[in-house]
Amino acid sequence: MTQEPPKGSEGVHTDFSDRMTYGEYLRLDQLLDAQKPLSSHHDEMLFIMIHQVSEIWMKLMLHELQAAIRSIQHDDMQPAFKMLARVSSIQKQIIHAWDVLATMTPSEYMEFRDHLGQASGFQSYQYRMIEFALGYKTNAVLKIYRKDKDLHNRLEKAYKKPSLYDVTLEQLSKAGFDLDPQVLNRDYTDLYKQNPSVEAAWAIVYKDVDRYWHLYQLAEKLVDLEDSLQQWRFRHMKTVERIIGHKKGTGGSSGVGYLKKVLEHRFFPELWDVRTHF
């Protein structure tokens, strides 16, 4: 008996001898073959995939952040708002990834931890590039990537470029705010330091929202980004604490101690303090 095709499937393409398939377009053969556990333990696959998925999301975050920076530099604000909102949505996905990893117990992780050697999430170059794009610049981390000259050059270029907050401060200046010249003419490789003239400018923006609507929108997008990033950092820290306690990280960092310390850093300090001093 001939089986009838399911309803609604009429016209569906079935001959792909000279056409591109879904799997070919997404290169699924490469993507799904990229998980290579080094042990026989069941949970190593979970560990690898969570980190790979997070790196794919981070690639999209960088794609959006870099485009948003260029857009703001060209005074094209509306596309930048959408890009930054998208980054915040991506961050929510990465935050929830920790919930999945947290299903792994300490004893399960210790079964394959030694196979990682000195490899660690601390070495994620995409995460460093996200930090650079948001303005957190530390020269010391560049040393980690000297093994790969091309990668090191990419990171060094990102390190020297203006951050999202740098181009935002340029927008404040273009709007007529009298910012400290040290803010506008600073070396982009220096870690940003809080400045009273910037906080004063944001206070005016928040008090006269209608007049400075585009700056107000931009400010809130930045607050969304930092809020989500700090949530991601917190969930990372708690997941690590839950699985390895206060052991040293495989990359040599102090583990939970280091992750707690980075939580103290603020990317856009004036946007948080201005709320107190209204």
115 is in an annotated binding site: no
The CA distance from 130 to 73, in Å, is 18
216 is in an annotated binding site: no
CB atoms within 10 A of CB 167: 19
CB atoms within 10 A of CB 218: 24
Give the Å distances, CA to CA, from 241 to 95, 182, 253: 16, 40, 14
Query: Which residue pairs from 78-84 have beta carbons closer than 8 angstroms and sit at least 24 positions apart in sequence?
Result: 80/218, 80/221, 81/217, 81/218, 81/221, 84/221, 84/222, 84/224, 84/225
Tokens of 277: 């001093």
Q: Which residues contact 65 (CB under 8 A, 6 or more apart)?
A: 83, 84, 87, 130, 133, 134, 164
Alpha carbon 125 to chain centroid, angstroms: 11
Phi and psi dihedrals of 140, rounded to 5?
-60, -35
Query: What's the DSSP call for residue 183?
Result: H
H/E stretch holding 134: helix 125-134
Tokens of 255: 């583990």
Phi and psi dihedrals of 93, rounded to 5?
-65, -45
250 is in an annotated binding site: yes
Give the Å distances, CA to CA, from 170 to 163, 178, 197, 226: 11, 11, 13, 19
Binding site listing: 109, 113, 236, 250
Binding site listing for heme: 236
Binding site listing for substrate: 109, 113, 250
